[in-house]
Structure 1
Amino acid sequence: MVMKNILATGVAGFIGFHLTKRLVKEGYRVIGLDNINDYYSTDLKYDRLTQLGIKKGSIIEDKPVPSKTHENLQFIKTDLENKAVIDDLFADNGFDVVINLAAQAGVRYSLEDPYRYIDSNITGFLNLLEAARHHPVEHFIYASSSSVYGANTSMPFATSDNVDHPMSLYAASKKSNELMAHTYSNLFDIPTTGLRFFTVYGPWGRPDMALFLFTEAMLNDEPIKVFNHGNMERDFTYIDDIVEGIKRLIPKPPTPNPDWTGDDPDPATSFAPYRIFNIGNSSPVHLMDFIHEIENQLGMEAEKNMMPMQPGDVPKTWADVEDLFEYIDFRPQIKVKEGIRNFVEWYKEYYKSEVQS
């Protein structure tokens, strides 16, 4: 089988790093892109890149550099908003597949700096679509988010649901990506697949996510912030299951749905080569149970500061993923107990000089 030439964005990020590691291991030719912004620790991002054979000192702004350990991997530090660089990348490399995981992340941060979300998640996404328009690809996969479900309360969340009531600008930017992708699928026949991620966790995770924040605070004898007084549920999904799902989607670009009708439009499919999937565990966990499992793995009890709900947040997420499981013949394998144990082991090893004995 001829291995695909892939542009993967956000490769210094949590999901992008794990996915890139898997793709190069399996022989795909990958150019990884990231702007290494300071939304959270750039040290963690550079350390992820080091795992891929990309040393900080070798990085040249806006120029691809080769990995020291993977001959089928190059890395370029640039912004998605840099249209000239993006256009040149597509023209020079003839990508078969685009996997866009780069974005300004975070629900709460979108209240502080909304312009970052427009620059990266809207303008940057448009640059990728335009490049794919002029340099056609076989499959354009991109990260959406469970946040698009917003004010919806009917559970589990299904891709057939209306998602017109976002609770944050981050969510609105992700819904915008889905609409933009459909437009380009329709006008330019680009096969696009949007993935609504549900609370991804695991080793090398993001420092702004609950598992990281709770573990860090507990190991430093600090209280943890428990929002909505603990009355939260999340469809926690382990990183390896997410990566497996994305990998299985690569050779399966969407095709037009022959049964689609404008009289009863299905939001998840189209008359164009367009598809939306939830990608999650489909097994929501109560926040307090999640915290108790962290306590079990750390062998200590957390001091808990019970807090009100944060603006832009939602009390529960739960993914209906039957259509994805059917499409790729895969169900998540990792339970929360195992996933938290793996994260805690990684955290202690990575921060061993900082962890209190």
Structure 2
Amino acid sequence: MKIRQDQLGQTLSQGLASCYLVSGDDPLLLMEACDEIRAAVKHQGIEERELFHAESGFEWRNLLEEASAMSLFASRRLLELRIPNGKPSDKGSAIKELAENPSPDNVFLIICPRLDAKTQKTAWYKAVEKHGVVLPIWPIDRQQYPGWLKRRLQIAGLQAEPAAVAALAHQTEGNLLAAVQEIEKLRMQGIEMVTEEIVQEATGDSSRFDAFGLADACLLGKLGEANRMLGHLKAEGNEPIMILGAITRKIRQLIMLKNCSGAQQLAEGFKQQFIWPKQQQPYKSALQRLSQKELHRALRTAEATDLAAKGSGDDPWLLLAQLIVILSGQTDNIFTLT
């Protein structure tokens, strides 16, 4: 069955399904939904977790063999499969088999980016939808955003004036991770009532280094600024995978927007990608400067960086630096595109 994110808690309270498919492009919402499923699985006494990354060259038979194998340490396991491009290289036959013939010893969690209409018509997707739970994660739209911020403030134990919520919405403009960071900063200050003035003071530092500022610097072609930000983030102890998430999302959005021809199609593309007016200028700059070839090179480099961050042996910081060069549009001076 297919559910909304606000139905996940109730669905999990009714018992675990054998299979879950969570898809979406917002890193925070995707992470939180998966964490909720993992917590429910753990609550049922399932402690062991096996992680699979379906990258290029992934051996699907290994997944099937692991799914049918008995665990030496636990009676039940969580098998977590991550598919970065959302397109199983075996055309989904392994997933279809596991969904249609679930093992009582396993809970199967599949994590993908947002899946297009064509993928949702495939046999493997329909098998998961029929025998398990499908949860598409949709971005928070402009009308929902203030309400979402208010709930997040309440979860953090904060009360906020309406003007403060409006100010926070204006400052963060739909950037959920940035909003959560700002709310955590407010919580750490021990403030009982958040006012507009407090929000303005807390979020007014435009020199703040974060992954989203880094991504925007890349899109604007500011290579020097992007490199300084990357160095600062590394020095602060940030994980490469967290920085990569913000950049990869923008690359995927740019690839979709590159197909738009004319101002009207581009405006509709921005709307479909949930990119607000305040956020659009870096995208417009990148679209004028970068070709589809460069964007796909950036995506491949992002995938290699993801593998490096997970232990492939390459240096993820070096690959992040290369990714910044590509997105800044200055690759001709560094290396030749293939």
Provide TM-score, normalisation by structure 2: 0.34
Bigger helix fraction: 2
Bigger strand fraction: 1
Higher-Rg member (1/2)? 2
